[in-house]
Amino acid sequence: MIKRILVGLAGTTYTPVAIQRAVTLAQAHNAEVTGVTVLDRGRVRCEGIGLVKAPSRDAIRAERMEVAQSQIDQSVTAFETTCQAANIKHRVVAETDEPFTRLVDLARYHDLMVFGLRSVFEYDFLSGDPESLLIRLVGAGVRPLIAVSEMYRSISRVMIAYSGSMESAKAMKRFVQMRLWPSAELKIVTFHLSDSKADELLRDAERYCRAHGFRVCHQSSPGDPQLMLMAAATLWQADMIVMGNSARSVMLRKALGDTLLGTLRDTRIPLFLAQ
């Protein structure tokens, strides 16, 4: 059950889809939505202009802030208009000081966070590290997360990346128990395992999902999951991928791991991330 959804209003190309995803889920689950503006003023002013001399530097900073604030304002307007049209209870929170801290604070009191697949801090004139935000959010305990792509899609097929680890099991269970899309068909996939071990894990996982009323199938694909997960998801025409992670490992940039980092960089399919 979800009752409170948090969505980042960053003025990027992902923001309209994040808004639509949050509002659609709120309608389906009788939830309220909080939109939080995400404008990292320090980065906007300073990124990449260290060698530029004043007064040109000041002019660039002023122009950047004007563009970024305009994008944020448009996001807020779109958010409020969409919520009102859907008759969804909503509010807007303007970030203060360091926006990441505000985002984490708000996430404590929401059931789900929705943001752009690459980064909620990604403005047209910045070249941010797309993995750093995810690492910081997960490391700070923000979960579950839905990372949306640039194109909105209905969720009817969901692929669950399952390794048998406690982290991947928790992600699977969280997704199933939340029942965000109860009519979706699930496909559980695993990699790197012997046929006998994979079959045992997948059948147990399939039985768990079926017990919660889902239609589900499974697939074992021995090989490198970083290479094979996206291929499997694309071939099956998945609308979303469910992945787990370990907060401790994430902070070391390890088993967020290479598979999740690679997926984050390469996928155009929305992700559900949990621990």
Reading the block at residue 14, the tokens are 């992902």
Q: Are 208 and 173 in contact (CB under 8 A)?
A: yes
SS (H, E, C) 164-227: CCHHHHHHHHHHHHHCCCCCCEEEEEECCCCHHHHHHHHHHHHHHHHHCCCEEEEEECCCCHHH
Please determine, for residue 74, whether its predicted confidence score (pLDDT) is greater than 80: yes
Q: Domains in the chain and their CATH numbers?
A: 4-148 (3.40.50.620), 157-274 (3.40.50.620)
Residues 169-180 have pLDDT tens digits of: 999 999 999 999
Strands 185-190 and 157-161 come out as: parallel
Q: What pLDDT is attached to residue 113? A: 93
The interaxial angle of helices 195-211 and 166-178, nearest 10 deg, is: 20
Rg of the chain over Cα atoms, rounded to whole angstroms, equals 19
Q: What is the distance between the alpha carbons of residues 260 and 273, in angstroms, rounded to a whole number?
A: 9
Reading the block at residue 158, the tokens are 């969901």
In the block, tokens 């995810």 appear at 134
Q: What is the distance between the alpha carbons of residues 6 and 114, in angstroms, rounded to a whole number?
A: 6
Please determine, for residue 132, whether its predicted confidence score (pLDDT) is greater than 90: no
Task: From 182, 207, 191, 195, select the one nearest 243 (Cα to Cα).
Answer: 191
CA distances from 134 to 12, 62, 193, 206, 234 (A): 16, 29, 27, 28, 23
Q: Are 179 and 29 in contact (CB under 8 A)?
A: no
pTM exceeding 0.85: no
Q: What pLDDT is attached to residue 262? A: 58
- Least confident range from 23-27, 95-99, 154-158: namely 95-99
Residues 111-121 have pLDDT tens digits of: 999 988 765 44
User: Amino acid identity, residue 98?
Assistant: E
* Three-class DSSP category at 35: strand
Residues 137-170 have pLDDT tens digits of: 766 767 898 989 888 999 999 999 998 888 889 9
Which conformational region is residue 237 in: left (phi greater than 0), alpha (psi within -120 to 50 degrees), or beta?
A: left
